[in-house]
């Protein structure tokens, strides 16, 4: 037996690897001594026993990418410690997050969450570091600033909300904003690149902010987006609706002092929206479903009325608006689809 | 060769009928093709169901088989286990001519089966099913630690990888030396 073979055997035994019956069979040792060969090393036994064994490493690289691509960048961090090959795989996938929620504290520092994961992350400079990774992108961005609601004149932060948000967040496709004032909403919206934004959702702002909505509608981001949801638009005026003429879809909750003629004017205004596919108006007006139907000239059946459908032929056009009007609590929901 | 016919009765070719001339043109009967896996069990699948597979669809459109020719020459997929091919055929039949749903919950839970299915579906180029399968493989490790991932996906550590590589090299070297010695012996 050669010195190296003795050394191998010694090393195996000193590591406590005594569980190799094949190798320690007397005839095997005799064979090793006689023909100067050692039996197969245990590692070889383990890894060459079933070359056809299915595992992730046996898959084509394109499939490994496709599989790992289903995990978001945070979920992929665990892959980085699995082994070198998987680490390289995880690192070569672009850091695209499906959704991210960012919230501002009262002193304008940030904390954030990824997708539906409840774990909160925070720390100065960390978000910027993350956003500086080449290819970083968030598809759906939720921006929240609850803390600002409770601020007073004395603890109002010197920095703006947008000042602490890294620039890379400008490229989100969909933005969901929940802030106290229209000015804060405009400030956050203004950092997004006009034209890149596919949809905007704005949660209710302070009641006193209603008069500032025209400023929101005048932002380039609003003018160039295609889908909008405004969860509360106070101080209704039919003219306001004309701001939505460029949209493919919109949802609004309208409240204010309505008069009967307003419903006809809403229908007329919406019928002029050439690009519209569908919209939903939740109207808080004090009017009941029967009164609205009457105002729109819809025949009302006898008995209780919860839902009614109505097709409106757009004058001098071959297109129609399909209305589904539903009553529910203090509001009326009007779902409108444009039929081509 | 054993044979199982997988087509549903509604999809069977219609018998020719004597329809009045004034009636609308009769529907073109659906054509069927045959596939078999490693176990040689033949599966009858409609052309509509096979459209999910870009590979088979391409073969059909390039070969221009008649139904009789197709029956005599089933497409051989020797690299796919019979039970896996059965799963694929079932999926294609279930989703024939239907829009595919955003998720599929009927995929195998056993990882070996799922890995086999991924490889088969990738080979057959069934895009939607591949997307579901890859998502399911990914979900197996969602929220798991690196050690758990290694176990679930059966991935060796770097040390194990290196050791295996070293041993493989050593063995290849030994084999090469053995072959050289044998060749020298033969020459003598």
Segments making up each domain of chain B, as ranges = 2-155, 157-188
Sorted by sequence, the CB contacts under 8 Å of residue A7 that are 6+ apart come out as none
Distance from CA of B66 to the nearest CA of A (A): 34
pLDDT beyond 50 at A22: no
Q: How many residues does chain B have?
A: 188
**Residue A158: how many CA atoms within 13 Å on its side-chain side?**
0
Cβ neighbours around A333 below 10 Å, total: 18
The answer to whether A171 and A196 have CB atoms below 8 angstroms apart is yes
More confident residue, B178 or A253: A253
- B144 vs A58, A78, A83: nearest CB: A78
Within 8 A of B161 by CB-CB distance, chain A residues are 83-85
Across the range B108-134, mean pLDDT stands at: 91
Binning pLDDT at 50, 70 and 90, where does residue A28 land?
Answer: very low
Q: How big, in percent rounded to 5, are the helix, strand and coil portions of chain A? A: 35, 25, 40
User: pLDDT tens digits for A147-195?
Assistant: 554 444 455 556 778 777 877 676 789 999 999 889 889 988 887 888 8
- Give the chain B residue nearest A85 (alpha carbons): B158
pLDDT beyond 90 at A220: yes
Q: Which CATH class is domain B2-155?
A: alpha beta
Q: Do the chains contact at A71 and B141, CB–CB below 8 Å?
A: yes
Q: Any chain B CB within 8 A of the CB of A48?
A: yes
For residue B91, what pLDDT is reported? 92
Distance from CA of A138 to the nearest CA of B (A): 20
SS3 call for A65 = helix
The answer to whether A190 and A219 have CB atoms below 8 angstroms apart is yes
pLDDT beyond 60 at A265: yes
CB-count exposure of residue B26 (10 Å: 0-12, 13-18, 19+): exposed
Within 8 A of A79 by CB-CB distance, chain B residues are 141, 146, 149
Q: Do the chains contact at B142 and A75, CB–CB below 8 Å?
A: yes
Q: Which of A13-22, A328-337, B159-168 is predicted least confidently? A: A13-22
More confident residue, B144 or B183: B144
Within 8 A of A39 by CB-CB distance, chain B residues are none
Q: How high is the mean pLDDT of chain B?
A: 80
Across the range B150-176, mean pLDDT stands at: 87
pLDDT beyond 70 at B23: no
**What whole-number distance in Å separates Cα of residue B108 and Cα of residue B119?**
14
Within 8 A of A50 by CB-CB distance, chain B residues are none
Sorted by sequence, the CB contacts under 8 Å of residue B52 that are 6+ apart come out as B91, B92, B95, B96, B126, B127, B128, B129
Cβ neighbours around A238 below 10 Å, total: 17
SS3 call for A279 = strand
pLDDT beyond 70 at A32: no
Helix axes B54-63 and B111-124, enclosed angle (nearest 10): 30
Within 8 A of A55 by CB-CB distance, chain B residues are 115, 153-155
Distance from CA of A25 to the nearest CA of B (A): 21
pLDDT beyond 70 at A9: no
**What whole-number distance in Å separates Cα of residue A151 and Cα of residue A148?**
5
- Chains A and B: how many Cβ contacts under 8 Å? 94
Across the range A14-32, mean pLDDT stands at: 43
**What whole-number distance in Å separates Cα of residue A18 and Cα of residue B9?**
62
**What whole-number distance in Å separates Cα of residue A111 and Cα of residue A228?**
26
For residue B159, what are the CA distances in angstroms to A62, A88, B69, B165? Answer: 25, 16, 54, 10
For residue A67, what pLDDT is reported? 92
The answer to whether A231 and A260 have CB atoms below 8 angstroms apart is no
Binning pLDDT at 50, 70 and 90, where does residue A275 land?
Answer: very high
Predicted TM-score (pTM) of this structure: 0.61
Q: Any chain A CB within 8 A of the CB of B81?
A: no
The answer to whether A161 and A108 have CB atoms below 8 angstroms apart is yes
| Cα A56 versus chain centre, distance | 29
Q: Do the chains contact at B146 and A81, CB–CB below 8 Å?
A: yes
B1: closest CA among B37, B33, B31, B32?
Answer: B37
| Host H or E run for residue B184 | helix B158-187
Q: Any chain B CB within 8 A of the CB of A54?
A: yes
Q: What is the ipTM of this complex?
A: 0.74
Distance from CA of A19 to the nearest CA of B (A): 18
Across the range B135-139, mean pLDDT stands at: 92
The answer to whether A277 and A228 have CB atoms below 8 angstroms apart is no
For residue A31, what pLDDT is reported? 40
More confident residue, A43 or B117: B117
| Host H or E run for residue A139 | strand A137-144
Within 8 A of B157 by CB-CB distance, chain A residues are 83
For residue B136, what pLDDT is reported? 92
- Give the chain A residue nearest B117 (alpha carbons): A54
More confident residue, A168 or A300: A300
Beta bridge mates, A201: A176, A229
User: pLDDT tens digits for B62-77?
Assistant: 877 777 788 888 889 9
Positive or negative CA dihedral for A62, A68, A71, A77?
Answer: negative
For residue A51, what pLDDT is reported? 47
- A60 vs B116, B122, B137: nearest CB: B122
**What whole-number distance in Å separates Cα of residue A240 and Cα of residue A254?**
10
Within 8 A of B153 by CB-CB distance, chain A residues are 55-57, 82
**What whole-number distance in Å separates Cα of residue A330 and Cα of residue A262?**
18
Binning pLDDT at 50, 70 and 90, where does residue B156 land?
Answer: confident
Across the range A113-138, mean pLDDT stands at: 82
Within the 107-146 window of chain B, which residues sit less than 8 Å (CB to CB) from chain A? 112, 115-116, 118-119, 122, 130-131, 134-135, 137-139, 141-146
Q: Which of A22-31, A111-120, A287-296, B51-60 is predicted least confidently? A: A22-31
For residue A24, what pLDDT is reported? 39
**What whole-number distance in Å separates Cα of residue B133 and Cα of residue B129?**
6
pLDDT beyond 90 at B10: no
For residue B37, what pLDDT is reported? 93
For residue A128, what pLDDT is reported? 83
The answer to whether A201 and A229 have CB atoms below 8 angstroms apart is yes
């Amino acid at each position: 037996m050669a010195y190296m073979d003795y050394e191998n055997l010694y090393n195996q035994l000193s590591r406590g690897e005594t569980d190799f019956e094949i190798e320690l069979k007397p005839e095997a040792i005799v064979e090793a001594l006689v023909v100067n060969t050692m039996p197969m090393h245990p590692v070889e036994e383990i890894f060459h026993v079933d070359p056809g064994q299915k595992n992730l490493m046996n898959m084509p690289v394109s499939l490994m990418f496709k599989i790992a691509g289903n995990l978001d960048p945070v979920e992929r961090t665990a892959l980085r410690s699995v082994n070198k090959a998987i680490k390289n795989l995880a690192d070569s996938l672009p850091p695209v997050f499906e959704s991210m929620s960012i919230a501002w504290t009262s002193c304008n520092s940030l904390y954030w969450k990824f997708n539906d994961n409840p774990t909160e992350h925070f720390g100065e400079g960390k978000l910027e570091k993350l956003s500086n990774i080449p290819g970083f992108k968030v598809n759906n961005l939720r921006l929240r600033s609850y803390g600002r609601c409770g601020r007073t004149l004395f603890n109002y932060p010197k920095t703006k909300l947008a000042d602490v948000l890294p620039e890379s967040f400008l490229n989100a496709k969909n933005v969901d904003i929940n802030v106290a004032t229209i000015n804060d909403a405009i400030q956050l919206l203004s950092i997004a690149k006009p034209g890149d934004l596919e949809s905007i959702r704005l949660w209710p702002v302070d009641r006193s902010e209603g008069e500032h909505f025209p400023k929101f509608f005048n932002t380039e981001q609003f003018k160039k987006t295609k889908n909008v949801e405004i969860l509360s638009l106070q101080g209704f005026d039919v003219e306001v609706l004309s701001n939505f003429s460029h949209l493919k879809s919109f949802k609004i909750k309208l409240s204010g002092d309505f008069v009967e003629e307003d419903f006809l004017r809403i229908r007329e205004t919406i019928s002029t929206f050439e690009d519209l596919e569908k919209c939903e108006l939740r109207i808080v007006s004090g009017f009941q479903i029967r009164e609205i139907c009457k105002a729109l000239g819809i025949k009302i059946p006898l008995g209780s009325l919860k839902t009614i459908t109505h097709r409106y032929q757009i004058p001098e056009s071959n297109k129609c608006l399909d209305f589904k009007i539903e009553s529910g609590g203090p509001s009326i929901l009007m779902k409108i689809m444009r039929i081509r | 060769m054993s044979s199982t016919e997988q087509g549903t009765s509604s999809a069977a070719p219609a018998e020719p009928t004597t329809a009045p001339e004034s009636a609308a043109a009769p529907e073109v009967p659906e054509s069927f093709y045959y596939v078999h896996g490693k176990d040689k069990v033949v599966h009858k699948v409609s052309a509509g169901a096979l459209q999910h597979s870009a590979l088979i669809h391409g073969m059909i459109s390039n070969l221009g088989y008649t139904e009789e020719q197709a029956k005599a020459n089933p497409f051989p997929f020797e690299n796919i286990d019979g039970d896996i091919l059965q799963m694929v055929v079932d999926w294609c039949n279930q989703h024939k001519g239907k829009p595919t749903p955003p998720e599929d919950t009927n995929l195998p839970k056993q990882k070996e089966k799922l890995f086999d299915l991924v490889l088969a579906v990738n080979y057959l180029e069934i895009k939607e099913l591949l997307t579901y399968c890859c998502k399911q493989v990914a979900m197996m490790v969602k929220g798991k630690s690196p050690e758990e991932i290694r176990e679930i996906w059966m991935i060796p550590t770097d040390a194990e990888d290196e050791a295996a590589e070293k041993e493989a090299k050593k063995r290849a070297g030994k084999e090469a030396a053995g072959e050289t010695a044998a060749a020298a012996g033969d020459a003598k």
